[in-house]
């Protein structure tokens, strides 16, 4: 498997005449396209040395020819020009758009964390009186897209996470930062960055592993910009670590240490809830509505 080469991109903010700071495109990632089946088939838009980048503020994903500086392939900023674009839906405020590397499942497809939130420039609407950040959506999507047909090959949205759209859609939502990485086993590592959550899902959307950052910064956030799964060989160790299988927990019997035993979850004692009843207890009704 070939390792992809990444270029670091720092958004350029310019001071405007009135002293304000502008960040018109906010390009948050750029990488070499890398060896791929499209170029092998004669499509020179996808030359391995070309650069794929994305603009978080303008809802654009594009490939730039390194020799000419011309745009050879583009998706956005509008998603209503063709039937394929309309079916794909608006990509908003996205991060980490890249071509899946050769040797990985889905190689040659575009993988992107479609944040949602607020981004784009266009006609004013009630949520955007000036037309800036006029595209809005209160949940995120991870999309694997065939860059030729724009067909969604695979996705992870609140629906695949088991949440009801639109009522619970924001339970999978990071309006900024975030990323997605295809793993050699076919799973996808997702960084839900604004929540500090990193998790791995299978092709069938089963959650197999997750981590929530316990590190909170000065702004009161545990945000994680982007995470990668790296092979053990990247961090030499002797002896190398040995992976051990972890059996899936039975949620009907699993208890965190100190939790109430099965059958008594609905009643917990909280000292000091009432001033005149320091040992008062209150009931928690489960989501299934059982008494």
Least confident of 50-54, 203-207, 240-244: 240-244
pLDDT value for 254: 79
What are the C-alpha distances in Å from 108 to residues 40, 41, 50, 247? 10, 12, 14, 34
Angle CA 40–75–67, to nearest 5: 55
Phi/psi of residue 271, each to 5°?
-60, 140
How many CB atoms sit inside 10 A of residue 88's CB?
18
Question: Confidence class of residue 14 from pLDDT cuts 50, 70 and 90?
Answer: low
The answer to whether the peptide bond before residue 77 is cis (omega within 30 degrees of 0) is yes
Q: Which CATH number fits domain 6-234: 2.40.128.630, 2.60.40.1120, 3.40.50.2300, 2.120.10.30?
A: 2.40.128.630
CA distances from 130 to 16, 121, 133, 135 (A): 18, 9, 9, 12
Laid out side by side, the sheet with 188-192 consists of 179-182, 188-192, 197-201, 207-212
DSSP secondary structure of 180-237: EEE-TTS-EEEEEGGGTEEEEE-TT--EEEEEE-----TTS-----------GGGS--
Q: What is the pLDDT of residue 252?
A: 78
What pLDDT is attached to residue 22? 66
DSSP per-residue codes, 115-167: --EEEEE-S-BTTBTTSEEEEEESS-EEEEE-TTT--EEEEE-TTTTTPPTTT
109, exposed or middle or buried, with CB in 10 Å at 0-12, 13-18, 19+?
A: buried
15-32 tens-digit pLDDT: 555 666 668 899 999 999
The pLDDT tens digits of the residues spanning 98-111 come to 999 999 999 999 99
Tell me if the bond preceding 239 is cis, omega within 30° of 0. yes
Write down the residue that tokens 């759209």 correspond to: 165
Q: What is the mean pLDDT of residues 272-284?
A: 48
DSSP for residue 281: E
pTM beyond 0.75, yes or no: yes
pLDDT at 267: 53
**CATH 2.40.128.630 domain range(s) in the chain:** 6-234
- 285 pLDDT band, cuts 50/70/90, is very low
Tell me the pLDDT tens digit for each residue of 103-132: 999 999 999 999 999 999 999 999 999 999
When computed from its CA atoms, the radius of gyration of the chain, rounded to whole angstroms, is: 23
> CB–CB of 196/224 below 8 Å?
yes
């Amino acid at each position: 498997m070939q390792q992809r080469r990444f270029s670091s991109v720092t958004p350029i903010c310019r001071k405007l005449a009135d002293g304000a700071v502008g960040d018109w495109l906010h390009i948050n990632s750029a990488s070499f396209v890398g060896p791929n089946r499209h170029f092998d088939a004669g499509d020179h838009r996808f030359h391995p040395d070309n650069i794929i980048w994305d603009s978080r503020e303008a809802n654009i994903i594009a490939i730039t020819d390194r020799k000419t500086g011309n745009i050879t392939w583009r998706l956005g900023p509008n998603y209503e020009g063709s039937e394929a674009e309309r079916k794909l839906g608006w990509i908003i405020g996205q991060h980490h758009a890249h071509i899946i590397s050769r040797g990985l499942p889905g190689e040659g497809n575009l993988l992107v964390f479609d944040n949602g939130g607020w981004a784009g420039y266009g006609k004013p609407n009630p949520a955007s009186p000036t037309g800036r950040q006029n595209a809005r959506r209160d949940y995120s999507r991870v999309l694997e897209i065939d860059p030729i047909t724009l067909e969604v090959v695979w996705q992870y949205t609140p629906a695949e996470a088991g949440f009801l759209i639109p009522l619970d859609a924001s339970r999978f939502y990071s309006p900024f930062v975030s990323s997605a990485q295809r793993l050699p086993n076919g799973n996808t590592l997702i960084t839900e960055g604004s929540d500090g959550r990193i998790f791995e899902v299978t092709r069938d959307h089963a959650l197999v592993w997750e981590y929530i950052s316990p590190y909170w910064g000065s702004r009161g956030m545990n945000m994680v910009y982007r995470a990668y799964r790296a092979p053990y060989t990247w961090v030499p160790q002797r002896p190398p670590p040995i992976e051990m299988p972890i059996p899936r927990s039975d949620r009907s019997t699993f208890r965190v240490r100190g939790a109430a035993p099965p059958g008594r979850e609905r009643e917990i004692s909280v000292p000091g809830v009432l001033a005149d009843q320091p040992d008062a207890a209150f009931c928690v009704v489960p989501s299934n509505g059982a008494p």
